[in-house]
Amino acid sequence: MSVELPGDGAAVQGLRERKKERTRRTIRIEAFRLFREQGYSETTVEQIAAAAEVSPSTFFRYFPTKEQLVIADDLDPPLIEALRAQPREVPPLAAFRNAAVEVFAKLPAAELAFEQERQALLFHVPELRSAIGLELQRSIVLMADLLAAHLGRDSDDFEVRVTAGAIAGSALAITTVSPMNAENLGRALDFLEAGLPLGKDQPTERP
């Protein structure tokens, strides 16, 4: 008869969660390797599952579709945690910038490269472009919830929504022309916080 010691259940649960995370990560890594080698469209779920040494049914337990391999954003949880830790007196754009800098500073180079590759796929694979609108909408909702909690306001507040849209739109715009990293995101947020002073440092042309 086995005796379960205090804390054993939590330890087993922790091991299971870590194993699930390793499996999920392996599936994604192998999928992206195949996407690089043979193209997104040419890569099948069966090939990905075989490369990750799991069954197709296991694949679908982690990712409902092949598209979800690319759409899923692993930076959301640490960003949420970092933003929630920001003091309430910090203005919202500064709070988000601080949180993003913290998350990117702790991100290993391999994970940053993976995130940049993920975003590149979203914008350059025709089959995935339809997901960009959904990703933007999801980001706005998430950002509105976080800003509302930070400010003590409702997530449907007009100004909260507009600010959330500006932040999400800025992040989306960066990925179309530059790598997503702390420097570029901070630069975009600084520009937003300054009131979008586009061209104000240039002399006005007169007729």
Residues 123-180: tens digit of each pLDDT: 889 888 888 888 889 999 999 999 999 999 999 999 999 999 999 999 888 888 888 8
Query: What residue spans in the chain does CATH classification 1.10.357.10 cover?
Result: 73-193
- pLDDT per residue over 74-116, tens digit each? 999 999 999 999 999 999 999 999 999 899 989 999 999 999 8
The fourth-level CATH superfamily of domain 73-193 is Tetracycline Repressor, domain 2 (1.10.357.10)
What are the φ/ψ torsions at residue 185 (nearest 5 degrees)? -65, -40
pLDDT exceeds cutoff 80 at 68: yes
**In whole angstroms, how far apart are CA 81 and each of 84, 98, 102, 111, 194?**
5, 12, 10, 18, 26
Q: Which CATH number fits domain 8-64: 1.10.3720.10, 3.40.50.20, 1.10.1200.10, 1.10.10.60?
A: 1.10.10.60
Query: What residue spans in the chain does CATH classification 1.10.10.60 cover?
Result: 8-64
Query: Residue 170: which of 182, 188, 184, 190 has the closest Cα?
Result: 188
105 touches 182 (CB < 8 A): yes
Which residues 6+ apart lie within 8 Å of 84 measured at CB?
146, 149, 150
The more confidently predicted of residues 2 and 92 is: 92
pTM of the model: 0.78
pLDDT for 206? 40
